[in-house]
Structure 1
Amino acid sequence: MLDQVAELVREVAQTIVLPRFQRLAHDEVQQKAPGDLVTIADQESERALSRGLTALLPGSVVVGEEAVAADPAVRDRIGAGGSVWIVDPVDGTNNFAAGKTPFCVMVALVTDGEQAAAWILDVVGDHLTIAEAGSGAYRDGVRVKTRTDDPGAAGLYGVVSHKYLPEDLGAEVRRNAAGLGGFTAGKHCAGYEYPAIATDEQQFGMFWRILPWDHTPGSLIVREAGGVVRHLDGVEYRPTNHQRGLLVAANEEIWHTAQGTLFPQGPPA
């Protein structure tokens, strides 16, 4: 199943997504909400992935970003039991629409509410990161593991994605983040940020808006590589969670160091 889904993801990326990169017509880009774009590639990729995935696993259902945009009740399928595919047909759509990288195609399989497998394809770089629950995480066929030490706050580099934070909280978090070794606002592509933690390109990531297609694939990859994915109050992330705020870290010690630095007074209520 891992290889079959990987082949499907690559095929969709190469035949639907990549051919439209830097070639989108004006009428092939729309705005779902202020600042939130969708392109014809997102729509066609989701349709193709949905057909292929349900054919690979009869009886399964799909929760795709664009299907939920059309009908929010589709999201409830994640907690309804059985086999559920969570699909982000083009992760990093705003980058893609602007003719920039990174952007990815992401798929996760959830079985009875638990993460079972994940696939993230960096479309332009052609790097595939996969994970299966209990079997580790792999990038281009090579097993990846997060770092096991904690260099302290001044030695940590990562992402503080403050775009959706309330204004006052965002300003406070940015001030506190100055105590870290370095941080950026991220590359607006979860499919880049999570594998970067799994491979020690960065050691943590803090996100506020938590949508299952953005975080379910990468969270399994990071965990299978040895990392930690929890809400700001320490509750473990699950695909059914709607709670805002997520802190991802290479290991337990780094998670606590990053949390204590960003939220010295404790996590926001």
Structure 2
Amino acid sequence: MVEEVAALVREVARTVVLPRFGSLAADDVREKAPGDVVTVADAESERALTAGLTGLLPGSVVVGEEAVAADPAVLQRLGDEGAVWVVDPVDGTANFAAGRTPFAMMVALLRGGETAAAWILDVPGDSMMAAERGSGAYRDGVRITARADVPPAGTLTGSVPTRYFPDDLRRQVDAHGPELGTVTSGRHCAGYEYPAVATDTQQFALFWKVMPWDHLPGALIVREAGGAVRHFDGSEYRPGADGPGLIVAGNPGIWDLVHDTLLPGER
């Protein structure tokens, strides 16, 4: 099913999302919450993915970002024992709406409440990351493995978008950020940040908001490559988790180093 889902994601991206890129009309974009925009491409691609995924796996259900926005009760389906698809039809919507990159399409498959498979498509670059639990992570069919060493803190590169952090935590992270090599505010697209960590383009990323469509696909890919995805208190991130704060790192040693540098005393 990995290849079938990958083909479906690519087809929806090609036929629904890309034709809208750079050509959205004013009424094609709306704000569904302060600072949180959605476009017609989000809605149309989620409908197409929902139809295609449930067709590939009859009896499955879909928890999509836009479906949950319309009916928050849909989120409770994450706990279903059967097959559950988690869909982010356009990740990095603010970038997409502004006519800039990166933006991605992300899908995860849950079975028995655990992530079994994941897909992230870099839509403009047509590059697919995929993983199955216990079978490794792949980029365009080539297996990827995260680095095994732990470089000095001053050489690490990562993203720390502190926009949503509480004030005290933001001050703490900002104070310790210079102890790391290069810290950016990120690319505003989890579908970029997770693959970047898995491929060692950067060694870590921090997030505050923990929505399943933003993190479940990337978390499996990073872990299958050898990385770590944990809450600020050190607990493993799992489906259904709603506690804020995640550190994503290229391996457990890097996770410890980043955590102890930026958030000493948080565990």
Partner of 1:95: 95
Query: In 2, distance between residues paired with 1:207 and 1:178?
Result: 18
Where does residue 6 of structure 1 map in the other structure? 6
In the alignment, structure 1 residue 113 sits paired with structure 2 residue 107: no
CA distance in 1, matches of 2:57, 2:214: 22
CA–CA distance in structure 2, aligned partners of residues 16 and 57 of structure 1: 22
Distance 2:230 2:260 in 1: 14
Q: What whole-Å deviation, never above 9, does each CA across 1:209-242 have from its counterpart, x for those lacking one?
A: 0000000000000000000111111111011100
What is the aligned partner in structure 2 of residue 261 from structure 1? 261
Match of 1:43 in 2: 43
Which string of whole-angstrom CA distances, capped at 9 and with x for unpartnered residues, describes residues 80-113 of structure 1?
Answer: 2211000000000000000000000100001011
Displacement of 1:152: 2.0
Q: With the length of structure 2 as denominator, give the TM-score of the two structures.
A: 0.99
Identity of aligned residues (%): 64
Distance 1:13 1:64 in 2: 16
Q: Which runs of 5+ in 2 are unaligned?
A: none
Match for 2:193: what amino acid?
E
- In structure 2, give the amino acid aligned to 1:82: G
Equivalent position of 2:217 in the other structure = 217
CA–CA separation in structure 1 for the residues paired with 2:178 and 2:264: 13
Where does the alignment leave 5 or more consecutive residues of structure 1 unmatched? none
Q: How far did residue 194 of structure 1 move? A: 0.3
SS of 1:30's partner is strand
Runs (4+) of structure 1 moved beyond 6 Å?
none
| Corresponding residue of 2:135 | 135
Residue deviations 1:187-228, cap 9 Å, x none? 000000000011000011111000000000000000000001
Q: Name 2:69's counterpart in structure 1.
A: 69
The residue type paired with residue 223 of structure 2 is R
What amino acid is aligned across from residue 126 of structure 1 in structure 2? Answer: D
Distance 2:39 2:198 in 1: 29
**Which secondary structure does the structure 2 equivalent of 1:174 belong to?**
helix
Counterpart contact for 1:152–1:254, Cα < 8 Å: no
Query: Deviation at 1:266?
Result: 2.3
Per-residue deviation, residues 44-74 of structure 1 (Å, max 9, x unmatched):
0000000000010011000000000011110
Report the Cα distance in structure 1 between the residues aligned to 2:223 and 2:187, rounded to whole angstroms.
Answer: 21
Give distance in 2, aligned partners of 1:141 and 1:32: 36
Q: Look up the SS of the partner of 1:96 in the other structure.
A: helix
Matched residues in 2 for 1:161 and 1:112: separation?
Answer: 32
Q: Which residue of 2 aligns with 1:191?
A: 191
Contact between 1:145 and 1:226, CA under 8 Å: does it hold in 2?
A: yes
User: Paired residue for 1:33?
Assistant: 33
TM-score calculated relative to the size of structure 1: 0.98
Aligned length: 267
Counterpart AA for 2:59: G
Residues of 1 paired with 2:167 and 2:23: CA distance?
Answer: 36
Q: Is the 8 A contact 1:136 1:143 kept in 2?
A: yes
Q: Structure 2 counterpart of 1:260, which letter?
A: D
